[in-house]
Chain A
């Protein structure tokens, strides 16, 4: 063992604390929360609007658009569209903004500590 290697990070908990307080990790957290929190609020409100209109705005929901296709049906189908769209947007965001940073931090941690997860 050469003596000029940097001192190994004291103990694993300290190491995690150090990582958690790093700017890089703060960026990762921001990339995740900045996307998922607003998106969750958005789809929840959008869904709530749909349910509330179904309960309280039946005349509006019953308005016929084309043939027998009414607002209620289109609104329902739009919930499918928005769900598919948000899923796709998230996977794109995660691949671009989250995965690379997460991989980098994981590699850095891996250099110091190896698979040592406590019994879960």
Chain B
């Protein structure tokens, strides 16, 4: 079958080309990083890129930060295998940006400085709130990092065509996975420690252009193949999926109806609602997204960045629709699952088919495959760098400078600690990813969204809009939402008690939903409210200052 990826037929062209393109990307981004390091002198440079980016640049960087391998390869694969439900997933990721635009971006930009906690702790007692925010930031970021890095490891073996039994540079599939995880980890540590926010931002901007370029080219080729007739593309996709018109309707992946099992059907549908709410409310609570708003000079520029981000992210998800259905139609579900059961290789496989058709034979196929595979690696690198930066900033600025040192650390010390933190967090992530490399950790992205929506978002919204909110409320909201999400997932079918679980051979599952959001998000908001009303603390003067500064930009950093 011609759709089986590269190495099968001893086709080393694609592999060599992928590696070459990837090395070019790494060389360019490292050069940018070194250049950025020369421009990075103050703490504001390191944490916020000197607040010197334009709305457009930051919008692209947000796109580069947000569109992870989970959304590029993951959603294209989801659509290719389950049809409509993959599209449903991407809609939540897009609509979520309205929360950021309407309620968070500008107010956060005006009242904060480097981290999410700057806003939460503005009118609160610093230590407890910053500690909670740092715990939550690091938890969310590490969950997300693990999913990306383990994904990168699995992907490299697939994209380079290293199968069990074959070797590459003397490495078998497992060794290649570990080598990839270490390489990705080492690069992200370098981007962050050397280039700080400036370096990371440019890496994300370059990646956003590459990703959009790759997606646009493939979409045009798919549409050209169907003479720009969407209906016949859909018809073909449905036909080759083997699932008929069900493929174009919701229900194959989420909210599955189990015949004769009303309870399971009910849970599955609740799970779909739960996923939907976490996707739409999670984005505006993700620390690596929030710190991007500090890289622009004003609230107006922050608004412009979100507008650009909505434009680019929305366009991208529309393109994945064509990529996913294109892969279903042109590659076929069977060939995709033969390569990767989760469908993560659908987009690269589609690239190969399109290359063969449009660019002339196997060489064309190998070329386009190599380009898309290299784009996928670039995608992963840009996202993990953003996550490492967010967590090391919080560790240094929130925990070290404001909790341990009580605000007495010098800028220089703080930035040094941030660099060391990036190294430590990077090393921990590498170690955890190697440990988890053969576990199914794809659920960690959804969990990161759930924690962000359950803990961070209530704290941020109450902080910005509720006068009465106080230290106790902030601490309750963050820990309450965080714990609820993590505990429920721990006892859910994604961790144990199901064949697809992280630990399929164990069973301590009692919570029936894979996504905790439906329970944990209201619980987080409730905790924030209870925590607030049981404490007498209130500071109207500080709230006046926060509100005036947030709304007008007076005294903004």
Contacts and interface: CB of A to CB of B under 8 A. Distances in A.
Contacts of B114: 120
Contacts of B507: none
A83 B548 contact: no
Interface in A15-64: 16-17, 19-21, 25, 28-29, 32-33, 35-36, 39-40, 43-44, 47-48, 50-52, 54-56, 58, 61-62, 64
A69 B234 contact: yes
A61 B250 contact: yes
Contacts of A51: 88, 92, 272-273, 276-277
B269 A69 contact: no
A54 B552 CA distance: 41
B554 A110 contact: yes
B310 interface: yes
Contact of A79 (B91, B101, B300): B91
Nearest to A40: B102
B495 to A, nearest CB: 24
Contacts of A97: none
Interface in B209-247: 230-232, 234-235, 238, 245-246
A67 B328 CA distance: 18
A4 interface: no
Contacts of A106: 552-554
A101 B552 CA distance: 8
Contacts of A94: 303
A64 B317 CA distance: 22
B555 A115 contact: yes
A21 to B, nearest CB: 8
B407 interface: yes
B248 A47 contact: no
Contact of B98 (A40, A61, A99): A40
B249 A55 contact: no
Interface string B308-326: 0011001001100000000
Contacts of B257: 58
B21 interface: no
Contacts of B307: 87, 91
Given A67-B235, A117-B557, A90 B102 contact: yes
B449 interface: no
A120 B97 CA distance: 26
A95 to B, nearest CB: 8
Nearest to B274: A51
A5 interface: no
A83 B95 contact: yes
Contacts of A55: 250, 254-255, 269, 272-273
B357 interface: no
A69 B230 contact: yes
B112 interface: yes
A70 B547 contact: no
B99 interface: yes
Contacts of B248: 62, 68, 70, 72-73
B519 interface: no
Contacts of B547: 20, 29
A19 B545 CA distance: 9
A76 B269 CA distance: 18
B234 A68 contact: yes
B65 interface: no
B377 interface: no
A13 B310 contact: no
The 4 closest A-B CB pairs, nearest first, are A67-B231, A54-B250, A51-B276, A20-B544
Interface of B: 84, 87-88, 91-92, 94-95, 97-99, 101-103, 111-114, 118, 121-122, 230-232, 234-235, 238, 245-246, 248-251, 254-255, 257, 269, 272-273, 276-277, 280, 299-300, 303, 306-307, 310-311, 314, 317-318, 407, 465, 540-542, 544-545, 547-549, 551-557
Given A68-B245, A83-B97, A120-B112, 16 more contacts: A16-B541, A19-B548, A29-B547, A52-B273, A55-B250, A55-B255, A58-B257, A62-B248, A68-B235, A69-B231, A76-B91, A83-B94, A84-B311, A102-B551, A105-B552, A120-B118
18 contacts: A17-B544, A20-B547, A25-B551, A28-B552, A29-B547, A48-B277, A51-B277, A54-B272, A55-B250, A55-B272, A58-B249, A76-B91, A86-B98, A102-B551, A106-B552, A117-B549, A120-B121, A120-B557
